[in-house]
Chains A and B, each alone.
Chain A
Amino acid sequence: MAEVIFRTEDITKVYDTGEVKVYALAGVSLELYAGELAVLLGPSGSGKSTLLNILGGLDHVTDGRVWFRDLELTDLNDRGLTRFRRDHVGFVFQFYNLVPSLTAQENVQLVTDVAPDPMPAAEALDLVGLGHRLDHFPSEMSGGEQQRVAIARAIAKRPEVLLCDEPTGALDSKTGVQVLEVLKTINDQFGTTTAVITHNAAIQQMAHRVIQFQDGKINEVHVNETRIAPHEIVW
């Protein structure tokens, strides 16, 4: 049995807008294992992003407990969570979230400047196939390239986990596949535990495990006996 990286115990997240209470997560217990590539599927508002934010230390639970290995995240204050993110987690977002005033290399350096044991920014960009675009600004790159810069930025710190929120959501299928290829390569090559949120069901075929969300709860978890390569995925 692989080592457990993340463990959540009956976590809930309630957004209180004053008039109504919205349950973003309504009791989720889950384990993520070292080296696995998990896909979190589900419709909008089913709680996937909220869970990812909590796992990544971006958000707090309303109730329940979360562990990263032996470290209980729900015990940490903001400073502790910042430390945790800095040292262990890589993020990839749907809208890339690159800093427009920084070049590809400098966007990656944002991470290498603060991470304890980073790889050189150029190496990270090489890994995502952008070794030749180091000095380009986001506005000079396509969406797919921007997302690959975002991935390079996420992996440059050699994170133990990579959390991707709709990484292909803003991309067409061809560039989306390129991005998925990169994610798979990272997962295979470094054994980085990778969680990918998507509501594109086709992507689930490349995962080790698929976790289905519905109304703030896990609906179903299934293990793919046979995975397919990203280039075989079509949508």
Chain B
Amino acid sequence: MQALDKKLFRDFRRLWVQAVAIALVLSCGVALLLTSFGMYQALDDTRAAYYERNRFGDVWLDTRRAPETLLPELRAIEGVYAIEPRVVGAAILDIEGRSESAVGQILSWPEDDDPLLNVPLLRSGAYPAPTSTRDVMVNEPFAEANGFEIGSVFHANLNGQRRELRIVGTALSPEYIYTISPGGMMPDNEGFGIIWMPERAVAAAFDMEGAFNNLSVRITQDASEEEVIDELDRLAEPYGGLGAYGRAQQISDSFVTSEIAQLRGMAMVVPPIFFAIAAFLVSMVMGRIVALERSEIGLLKAIGYSDLEICLHYLLLAGFIAVVGIAIGWGAGTWLARGMAVQYAEFFDFPYLLFRVPGWVYAISGLAALVTTMLGAARAALAAARLAPAIAMQPPAPPRFKRSVIDVAMARLRLSQPTVMILRSFFRWPGRSAMTCLGLGFAVASVVAASFVNDALENIVDVAFYQSNRQDAMLLFTENVPETTIAEVRRLPGVLQAEPQQYLPAILRNGPLEKSLAVEARRPGTDLSRVIGADGEVSTAEPGGMLLSERLASQLHLGIGDTVEVEFLSGRRETHEMVVTGLVEQYFGLGAYADLDYLNQVFRQSPQMSVVNVTLDDNELDALHARLKDIPRLSGLIMMNDTRRSFQDTIRENVVVMNTVYIVIAVLITVGVAYNGARIQLSERARELASLRILGFSRGEVSYVLVGETMLLALVAQPIGWLIGAGIAQAMVGAFSSDIYSMPLILNPDIFSRASLVVLAAALASALIVRRRLDNLNLVSVMKTRE
């Protein structure tokens, strides 16, 4: 090994604490890049493979009842590759040992052959026999959550008939990667199951012989989804078509898609921040090393080492830091990605996860880390190479301080000399001070961004579950029932309060823009389910008017006072023009609200409803559930308390993990920046500080200069960090918003104070660690050292 290489290794060993502090910041970038890219790749690959192998549909269509004779016409639509008609129904389930009722989504299993599209992947047992009337196959998570085995039985209320069903197989389906019940907000594997039942049995139960009410379509590669949808809608119109939709509106797929988009966004945005901070730290440390080794550089040049060799020597030193950072990052990233893959496997129902972090992701993350480190070191390394040998051999000129307005101000304030030293150093190197503050600002921002999500979710829960939806349960009916049914509901055990509500599938149009959704209709003064805007005020749709969520209004380019064309897809299927009377900011779904009485009047019908919101007496829940299982036409039951609890549990779990991760990240950044900054200051100021000690300043007074500058920088960094954090929060609001949910931009003061506390504490700890070196400073030897 050459002597210069030995110097390299020993220099690295001497600098290892600083090097590791930087390497850790760098490794965060590498690990996050690896994790987010790895997971993005894993989810994307797995989904693509799953969809392809199990022939996931492209377009779906729900109708009230369409005859099978329509199928040849549907097949003949240009661009249609394959179709799969089904009968789909809902059923209240009675599961032994479970007092609450569960809800089942019944899907017909074709009689003559296996399904063409959305083929379920058998996990255990067998497909149900076509002629059986009680054999069913259920989705695996539902079976596992309820402790079902092959041969287990449960009861279902199928269109008013109580039937015993026997499980002969379990499966997973590409349609239910994210399994959520209609109207539900959170997956609930125990309370919601997918049930595949032989076609003949389902058709008989739901009165659908020779007909279907759900269609899956696979289109050819060159087909236009929009045109196929239009054609499907046209043909299904006479049969109560409820509007065909593509994958973007398929609930499961849209959840997976938004997750994949988030991962990709994270891979693009977050790692570069870490790389930039690491590059800055490398630049700061290497700059100092080159300054300290000035005479050694002169010597090397005098001996005959070329500029290139010297430049490479310092680049290699930075390269070592990069190598350590990359190694830690790869290790941590691989571990983290694996951990996340397990989390995803739990969250999403994939039959398998094609998890592999491709080699190129390792290569890219390593290369990115190496390149940014090199860029950080480049300035110092070039300065070393450019240093003229004759000048390098002489002590550097003392840094130039000039009197400025700031000095005049400082003189006016009669500050102590140590304070003047701190301030002057701060202003003497404005670039370095600014970069340090920016680095610490990112640490603050990291905590702000994490805490913001916490508060935003809390707020969503508060508005959605405590202010808007105050009911204990929602009873969903298969179709509209006369409002008089509410009297029956009120007579159920434990029901304290019951209010009607109606969901009307509709297409809202404004010129060429349209959106399919369910219009919610309720009475003014309704107490249990209300529309609450972001301002916390209750909004009510006026007769003839419509309230729209801001997101929906902006998608349809509508404002208050505009007219919207509403094509109702149920009942008489009439189209009416309604005036937008108000906009509300909402976090869940694309809401459109109307007055129930007004709609009944326009439809020229006796009052109808499809949902009853109730409050319940907890003591009579068991009795209520026992009765619910037998109510005909009840298709679903959402226990809001369960939903609230499950939502809050999920949030709490995620928030704890996320806050921990981001606080660790913030501490790593702070230590990286503050520790290195203080070490550099100490190295630059050793003579000054030793002189002060010799002049009679106490250890505390001298420490003040060192710790004071670090803390001054940390303090100045706070507002910068708050601003960056607020910016990141704003960007997150934009990135997270989808048709499914959106996030409010809520920035409480305690978010900022917590972030500041974390970063200031970490900065102080870093400065104090460096301060200990001050105690060990050998005054005489420092004074003897040549500058």
Considering the complex, give the chain A residue whose CB is closest to the CB of B304.
A86
In the bound assembly, the distance between CA atoms of A67 and B2 in angstroms comes to 32
Taking the complex as formed, is B660 at the interface, i.e. its CB lies under 8 A from any CB of chain A? Answer: no
Asked whether, in the complex, the Cβ of A93 is within 8 Å of the Cβ of B7, the reply is: no
Asked whether, in the complex, the Cβ of B301 is within 8 Å of the Cβ of A58, the reply is: yes
B19 to chain A: closest CB distance in Å? 14
In residues 67-111 of chain A, which contact B (Cβ within 8 Å)? 78-79, 82-83, 85-87, 89, 91, 93, 95, 97, 99, 101-102, 106-111
A143 to chain B: closest CB distance in Å? 11
Considering the complex, give the chain A residue whose CB is closest to the CB of B392.
A58
Taking the complex as formed, is B409 at the interface, i.e. its CB lies under 8 A from any CB of chain A? Answer: no
**Which listed segment binds A: B292-300, B336-344, B524-532, B588-596?**
B292-300
Taking the complex as formed, is B4 at the interface, i.e. its CB lies under 8 A from any CB of chain A? Answer: yes
Considering the complex, give the chain B residue whose CB is closest to the CB of A84.
B304
Taking the complex as formed, is B10 at the interface, i.e. its CB lies under 8 A from any CB of chain A? Answer: yes
Interface centre among B7, B300, B301, B393 (most CB of A within 10 A): B393
Taking the complex as formed, is B661 at the interface, i.e. its CB lies under 8 A from any CB of chain A? Answer: no
Asked whether, in the complex, the Cβ of B296 is within 8 Å of the Cβ of A59, the reply is: no
Given B3, B10, B296, B305, which contacts A97 in the complex, CB threshold below 8 Å? B296
Taking the complex as formed, is B364 at the interface, i.e. its CB lies under 8 A from any CB of chain A? Answer: no
Taking the complex as formed, is A114 at the interface, i.e. its CB lies under 8 A from any CB of chain B? Answer: yes
Taking the complex as formed, is B400 at the interface, i.e. its CB lies under 8 A from any CB of chain A? Answer: no
Given B2, B3, B303, B786, which contacts A91 in the complex, CB threshold below 8 Å? B303
Taking the complex as formed, is B124 at the interface, i.e. its CB lies under 8 A from any CB of chain A? Answer: no
Asked whether, in the complex, the Cβ of A97 is within 8 Å of the Cβ of B298, the reply is: yes
Q: Mark B271-313, 1 if CB is under 8 A from A, else 0.
A: 0000000000000000000000001101111111111000000
Q: Given A58-B302, A82-B305, do A109 and B390 touch, yes or no (CB 8 Å)? A: no
In the bound assembly, the distance between CA atoms of A188 and B305 in angstroms comes to 28
In residues 1-25 of chain B, which contact A (Cβ within 8 Å)? 2-4, 6-7, 10-11, 14
Taking the complex as formed, is A212 at the interface, i.e. its CB lies under 8 A from any CB of chain B? Answer: no
Asked whether, in the complex, the Cβ of A86 is within 8 Å of the Cβ of B3, the reply is: no
Taking the complex as formed, is A113 at the interface, i.e. its CB lies under 8 A from any CB of chain B? Answer: yes
Taking the complex as formed, is B174 at the interface, i.e. its CB lies under 8 A from any CB of chain A? Answer: no
Q: Given A93-B393, A97-B295, do A85 and B306 touch, yes or no (CB 8 Å)? A: no
Number of B interface residues at 8 Å Cβ cutoff, please give it: 25
Q: Given A58-B301, A82-B301, A113-B2, do A97 and B14 touch, yes or no (CB 8 Å)? A: no
B25 to chain A: closest CB distance in Å? 25
In the bound assembly, the distance between CA atoms of A86 and B299 in angstroms comes to 12
Residues of A near B306 (CB, < 8 A) are: 79, 82
Q: Mark B594-606, 1 if CB is under 8 A from A, else 0.
A: 0000000000000
Q: Given A99-B296, A102-B6, do A82 and B304 touch, yes or no (CB 8 Å)? A: yes
Asked whether, in the complex, the Cβ of A101 is within 8 Å of the Cβ of B11, the reply is: yes
Considering the complex, give the chain A residue whose CB is closest to the CB of B2.
A113
B3 to chain A: closest CB distance in Å? 4
Taking the complex as formed, is B388 at the interface, i.e. its CB lies under 8 A from any CB of chain A? Answer: yes
Asked whether, in the complex, the Cβ of B393 is within 8 Å of the Cβ of A58, the reply is: yes
B763 to chain A: closest CB distance in Å? 30
Asked whether, in the complex, the Cβ of A78 is within 8 Å of the Cβ of B2, the reply is: no
Taking the complex as formed, is B89 at the interface, i.e. its CB lies under 8 A from any CB of chain A? Answer: no
Taking the complex as formed, is B389 at the interface, i.e. its CB lies under 8 A from any CB of chain A? Answer: yes
B298 to chain A: closest CB distance in Å? 7
Q: Given A99-B296, A101-B7, A101-B11, do A58 and B303 touch, yes or no (CB 8 Å)? A: no
Asked whether, in the complex, the Cβ of B2 is within 8 Å of the Cβ of A56, the reply is: no
Given A50, A99, A101, A114, which contacts B299 in the complex, CB threshold below 8 Å? A99
In the bound assembly, the distance between CA atoms of A174 and B300 in angstroms comes to 29
Q: Given A58-B301, A97-B296, A97-B393, do A102 and B786 touch, yes or no (CB 8 Å)? A: no
Residues of B near A83 (CB, < 8 A) are: 304
Considering the complex, give the chain A residue whose CB is closest to the CB of B295.
A97
Asked whether, in the complex, the Cβ of A106 is within 8 Å of the Cβ of B3, the reply is: yes
Residues of A near B296 (CB, < 8 A) are: 97, 99
Residues of B near A97 (CB, < 8 A) are: 295-296, 298-299, 393
B146 to chain A: closest CB distance in Å? 68
Asked whether, in the complex, the Cβ of A53 is within 8 Å of the Cβ of B390, the reply is: yes
Taking the complex as formed, is A115 at the interface, i.e. its CB lies under 8 A from any CB of chain B? Answer: yes
Asked whether, in the complex, the Cβ of A59 is within 8 Å of the Cβ of B390, the reply is: yes
Asked whether, in the complex, the Cβ of B10 is within 8 Å of the Cβ of A87, the reply is: no
Asked whether, in the complex, the Cβ of A99 is within 8 Å of the Cβ of B393, the reply is: no
In the bound assembly, the distance between CA atoms of A183 and B442 in angstroms comes to 58
Residues of A near B298 (CB, < 8 A) are: 58, 97
Q: Given A58-B389, A97-B298, do A87 and B304 touch, yes or no (CB 8 Å)? A: yes
Considering the complex, give the chain B residue whose CB is closest to the CB of A50.
B390
B9 to chain A: closest CB distance in Å? 9
Asked whether, in the complex, the Cβ of B303 is within 8 Å of the Cβ of A85, the reply is: yes
Q: Given A78-B307, A97-B296, A99-B296, do A56 and B302 touch, yes or no (CB 8 Å)? A: yes
In the bound assembly, the distance between CA atoms of A113 and B301 in angstroms comes to 14
Given A95, A99, A114, which contacts B304 in the complex, CB threshold below 8 Å? A114
Asked whether, in the complex, the Cβ of A91 is within 8 Å of the Cβ of B302, the reply is: yes
Asked whether, in the complex, the Cβ of A110 is within 8 Å of the Cβ of B393, the reply is: no
Asked whether, in the complex, the Cβ of B305 is within 8 Å of the Cβ of A59, the reply is: no
Given A50, A58, A89, A109, which contacts B3 in the complex, CB threshold below 8 Å? A109
Asked whether, in the complex, the Cβ of A95 is within 8 Å of the Cβ of B6, the reply is: no
In residues 764-787 of chain B, which contact A (Cβ within 8 Å)? 786
Residues of B near A108 (CB, < 8 A) are: 3
Residues of A near B301 (CB, < 8 A) are: 58, 82, 85
Considering the complex, give the chain A residue whose CB is closest to the CB of B13.
A101
Given B7, B307, B786, which contacts A99 in the complex, CB threshold below 8 Å? B7
Asked whether, in the complex, the Cβ of B390 is within 8 Å of the Cβ of A102, the reply is: no
A127 to chain B: closest CB distance in Å? 18
In the bound assembly, the distance between CA atoms of A107 and B389 in angstroms comes to 18
Interface centre among B295, B299, B306 (most CB of A within 10 A): B299
Residues of A near B300 (CB, < 8 A) are: 110
In the bound assembly, the distance between CA atoms of A89 and B302 in angstroms comes to 8
B303 to chain A: closest CB distance in Å? 5
Residues of B near A110 (CB, < 8 A) are: 3-4, 7, 300, 303
Interface centre among B4, B295, B306, B389 (most CB of A within 10 A): B389
Considering the complex, give the chain B residue whose CB is closest to the CB of A59.
B390
Residues of B near A50 (CB, < 8 A) are: 390
Q: Mark A108-141, 1 if CB is under 8 A from B, else 0.
A: 1111111100000000000000000000000000
A52 to chain B: closest CB distance in Å? 9
Residues of B near A153 (CB, < 8 A) are: 303
In the bound assembly, the distance between CA atoms of A86 and B390 in angstroms comes to 15
In the bound assembly, the distance between CA atoms of A106 and B1 in angstroms comes to 10
Residues of B near A87 (CB, < 8 A) are: 304
Residues of B near A113 (CB, < 8 A) are: 2-4
B206 to chain A: closest CB distance in Å? 83
Given B2, B11, B393, which contacts A109 in the complex, CB threshold below 8 Å? B2
Interface centre among B3, B10, B388 (most CB of A within 10 A): B3
21 example contacts (A-B, Cβ-Cβ < 8 A) are as follows: A53-B389, A58-B389, A59-B388, A59-B390, A82-B304, A82-B307, A93-B393, A95-B295, A95-B786, A99-B299, A101-B7, A102-B3, A102-B7, A102-B10, A106-B6, A110-B3, A110-B4, A110-B7, A110-B303, A114-B305, A153-B303
Residues of A within 8 A of B (CB): 50, 53, 56, 58-59, 78-79, 82-83, 85-87, 89, 91, 93, 95, 97, 99, 101-102, 106-115, 153
Residues of B within 8 A of A (CB): 2-4, 6-7, 10-11, 14, 295-296, 298-307, 388-390, 393, 786
Across the A-B interface, give the 5 residue pairs with the lowest CB-CB distance, nearest first.
A86-B304, A59-B390, A101-B10, A109-B3, A53-B390
Other A-B pairs beyond A53-B393, A85-B304, 5, CB < 8 Å: A58-B388, A86-B304, A91-B299, A101-B6, A114-B303
